[in-house]
Amino acid sequence: MSENCLFCKIARGEIPARIVYKDDDCIVFHDINPAAPVHLLMIPRQHIVSMQDITDEDSVWLGRMMAQAPKIALENGCNAGPDGGFRLMANSGIEGGQEVLHLHFHIIGGKRPWKGQQVTIA
């Protein structure tokens, strides 16, 4: 844990977030400024700055996290099948576009009408 890290504070419950999933490895919550109909952030509980800091020893918990991501995406509004799907993305480092310096995976999905795709309104 890092005292002043925004995402550590969310993991500790000191800053509110719309949490949709948690386990011993990770927490998943809604991005405060969603870029798509579904925009979640998946963070490890431990403070790791970015993918640049991942070592071989991290592969077990990181693998467990990755195995949860598709299920969490579908449970939170991403669509199944080849026409659906989601984007799983980790900006890493300043030149990688990372703004919050605690490793996080964006889970982004849902209909993208701005891409000219068919939208079905029930």
Residues involved in catalysis: 104
CB-nearer residue toward Zn ion: 46 or 68: 46
Residue 74 interacts, among Zn ion, ligand 5GP, none and using kind-specific CB cut-offs from 5 to 8 Å, with none
Query: What 3-state class would DSSP assign to 71?
Result: helix
H or E element in which residue 9 lies:
helix 6-11
98 lies in the site for ligand 5GP, by CB under 6 A: yes
Give the strand pairing for 26-30 and 19-22.
antiparallel
Q: Which does 20 bind (CB under 5 to 8 A by kind): Zn ion, ligand 5GP, none?
A: none
For residue 102, the partner it binds in ligand 5GP, Zn ion, none, with Cβ less than 5 to 8 A by kind, is: Zn ion
How many chain residues touch Zn ion (CB under 5 A)? 6
* Look-up of token digits 């701005």: 114
Residues 6+ apart with CB under 8 A from 46: 1
| 3-class state of residue 10 by DSSP | helix
Interface positions with ligand 5GP (CB under 6 A): 6, 17, 29-33, 41, 91, 97-100
